[in-house]
């Protein structure tokens, strides 16, 4: 017991500012199209496991919601059209927080949820990679409770649903019932490429697709899996609390 107390005292504060802490060197983030030298060979599109790369005459596009940051397009391209960065701030707003939503409605939602947000995690078919990243939000490094955000055990006590995984046929009813059980106003965050795009596992009799095919989604956080910092960025973007 004395050794534990001695370790706590000598270690000091380990909590980091999520926005200033640097990601590890090997961390993979956004893939950018940096060159117009494309010869339309379409090898990058064929190599992409999530179907995120589209090649049209004279133009290449990347669906960031579906990109898993694997870097195969960067390795495959013979004309160096792609560049992989460490950028994790890729969250985008939709649903009730989209750009075309009335400012009064967005202001009302943020006024109600802005300073104390309770989150319910819903796993509807993930591989557990995103779930492990969610668990890190509550550790001493990221300490999401310092921002007035915490996880709850019931959707009836939640303001936001964090949904991980692609929607499977067997989990569809559970997702719909969880959404209906959450009191209004409520937000839904699609965590990871599976939940945001539904493209990672392809088409199957067991898969229904992305989360927004079943319930409205207000925050998309791409990645495979997204870093804890990316999740915090999505929450701060939704609550209009970015510096």
User: Tokens 């009813």 label which residue?
Assistant: 173
C-alpha closest to that of 207 among 107, 126, 143:
126
Q: What is the mean pLDDT of the chain?
A: 86
- Please give the Cα distance from 234 to 119 (Å, whole number): 13
Q: Report, as an integer, the average pLDDT of 172-185.
A: 93
Cβ–Cβ under 8 Å, residues 95 and 218: yes
Residue count of the chain: 243
Q: Which residues are within 8 A (CB) of 120 and not within 5 positions of it... i.e. 6 or more apart? A: 151, 152, 153, 154, 155, 157, 158, 160, 161, 162, 178, 182
pLDDT in the model for residue 242: 66
CA distance 105 to 185: 10
Task: Give the pLDDT confidence of 109-166 residue by residue, as tens digits.
Answer: 777 776 788 999 999 988 999 999 999 998 888 888 888 889 999 999 999 999 999 9
pLDDT grade for 179, boundaries at 50, 70 and 90: very high
* Class in CATH terms, 102-240: alpha beta
Of 3.30.70.3270, 3.30.70.20, 3.40.640.10, 3.40.50.1860, the CATH number of 30-85 is 3.30.70.20
Distance of CA 10 to the CA centre of its chain: 35
Please tell me which residue, 9 or 221, carries the higher pLDDT value.
Answer: 221
- Smallest CA-to-CA distance from 118 within 179, 159, 178 is with 159
Distance of CA 21 to the CA centre of its chain: 18
Question: Who wins on pLDDT, 234 or 59?
Answer: 234
Same fold, 30-85 and 102-240: no
pLDDT, tens only, 78-107: 888 888 888 889 988 887 777 777 777 777
Chain centre distance of CA 216? 15
In terms of Cα–Cα distance, which of 99, 98, 92 is closest to 193? 92
User: Helix 228-238 and helix 129-136: axis angle, to 10°?
Assistant: 70
- Assign 243 a pLDDT band (cuts: 50, 70, 90): low
Give the start-to-end residue ranges of the domains of the chain: 30-85, 102-240
User: Which strand (E) or helix (H) includes residue 60?
Assistant: strand 59-62
- Scan for tokens 């207000």, then name that residue: 218
- Please give the Cα distance from 60 to 52 (Å, whole number): 11
């Amino acid at each position: 017991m004395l050794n534990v107390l001695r370790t706590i005292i000598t270690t000091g504060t380990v909590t980091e500012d999520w926005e200033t802490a640097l990601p590890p060197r090997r961390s993979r983030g956004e893939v950018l199209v940096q060159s117009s030298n494309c010869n339309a060979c379409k090898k990058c599109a064929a190599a992409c496991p999530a179907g995120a790369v589209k090649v049209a005459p004279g133009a290449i596009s990347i669906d960031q919601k579906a990109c898993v940051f694997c870097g195969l397009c960067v390795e495959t391209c013979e004309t160096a059209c792609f560049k992989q960065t460490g950028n994790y701030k890729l969250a985008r707003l939709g649903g009730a927080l989209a750009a075309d939503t009335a400012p009064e409605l967005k202001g009302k939602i943020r006024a109600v949820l802005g300073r104390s947000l309770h989150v319910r995690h819903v796993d509807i078919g993930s591989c557990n990679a995103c779930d492990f990243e969610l668990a890190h939000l509550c550790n001493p490094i990221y300490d999401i409770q310092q921002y007035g955000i915490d996880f709850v055990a019931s959707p009836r006590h939640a303001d936001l649903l964090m949904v991980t995984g692609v929607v499977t046929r067997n989990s569809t009813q559970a997702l719909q019932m969880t959404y209906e059980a959450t009191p209004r106003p409520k937000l839904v965050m699609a965590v990871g490429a599976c939940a945001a795009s539904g493209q990672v596992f392809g088409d199957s009799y067991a898969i229904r697709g992305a989360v927004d095919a079943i319930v409205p989604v207000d925050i998309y956080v791409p990645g495979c899996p997204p870093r804890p910092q990316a999740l915090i960025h999505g929450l701060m973007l939704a609550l209009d609390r970015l510096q």
